[in-house]
Amino acid sequence: MKALDTLNFTAQTRDRLCSNVQSFTERRQDETNLRRAAVTLTVFKYEGGAAIILTRRSSKLRDHGGQWALPGGRIDPGENAVQAALRELNEEINLSLDESHVLGLLDDYLTRSGYLITPVVIWTDVEYSELEPNLDEVDSIHAFTFDELSRADSPYLESIPQSDRPVLSMHYGDDRIFAPTGALLYQFREVAIFGRATRVLHYDQPVFAWK
């Protein structure tokens, strides 16, 4: 099955994504000194096609204000990654879902700023017009379409003098979305859309994301 078969928002697309994610053996990391967080790779319907919910973080936030992000945040005591991801979806973009919408997990990703991020893949029939940002946390909500996600010029890899690992970014319109968000989007594309067991932990983030 070609990746283009998954561009439309259909039950067949959901089944294909679910099968690919469930067949993938995700890797968990055991770094007890890092703060644990969860983010969502939420598939929704946008202009008739499938897309990932992307946000622009509030410019008022102390950490990473104004940057591109996936809905998510810290895992609270007593929560697991899935519970935290669903809670953050509701808190950031007023989208209330339960665990029946979860398709599976991708690899944990360790950030330079001290987080261990668990990505949770979610499917929802919500329309773009129904999403509403919590302006204390999110300035705006955007769609990263599967068509855009599958661009041949993504990912973009570059070397920097501060690291021996390549820095990854994904093209988004005229902009670029850097790791960690870019790395998670890339792994989603590879695993869920293309059915490839691609790892991304070895990709680095730009220096501005290290703090």
Q: CA-CA distance, 9 to 148, in Å (whole number)? A: 15
> Please, which residues bridge with residue 158 across strands?
167
DSSP state of 59: T
Residue 157 has pLDDT above 60, yes or no: yes
Residue 6 has pLDDT above 70, yes or no: no
Q: What is the pTM of this model?
A: 0.93
Specify the pLDDT at position 15: 95
pLDDT digits over 9-43, tens only? Answer: 999 999 999 999 999 999 999 987 899 999 999 99
Cis before residue 180, ω within 30 degrees of 0?
yes
**Measuring CA to CA, how many Å separate 137 from each of 24, 114, 176?**
32, 20, 21
Query: By C-alpha distance, which of 84, 4, 110, 81 is closest to 49?
Result: 4
Ranges of H-type helices in 9-59? 11-23
Residue 200 has pLDDT above 70, yes or no: yes
Contact between 109 and 200 (Cβ < 8 Å): yes
Specify the pLDDT at position 160: 96
Mean pLDDT of 92-103: 96
Specify the pLDDT at position 173: 92
- Residue 134's pLDDT band, with cuts at 50, 70 and 90, is confident
> Please, which residues bridge with residue 188 across strands?
none
Specify the pLDDT at position 65: 54
Specify the pLDDT at position 2: 44
- Average pLDDT value for the chain: 92
Specify the pLDDT at position 158: 97
Domains in the chain, CATH or no CATH each: 3-150 (3.90.79.10)
Lookup result for tokens 């998510």:
72
pLDDT digits over 54-74, tens only? Answer: 998 876 655 655 689 999 999
Mean pLDDT of 95-114: 97
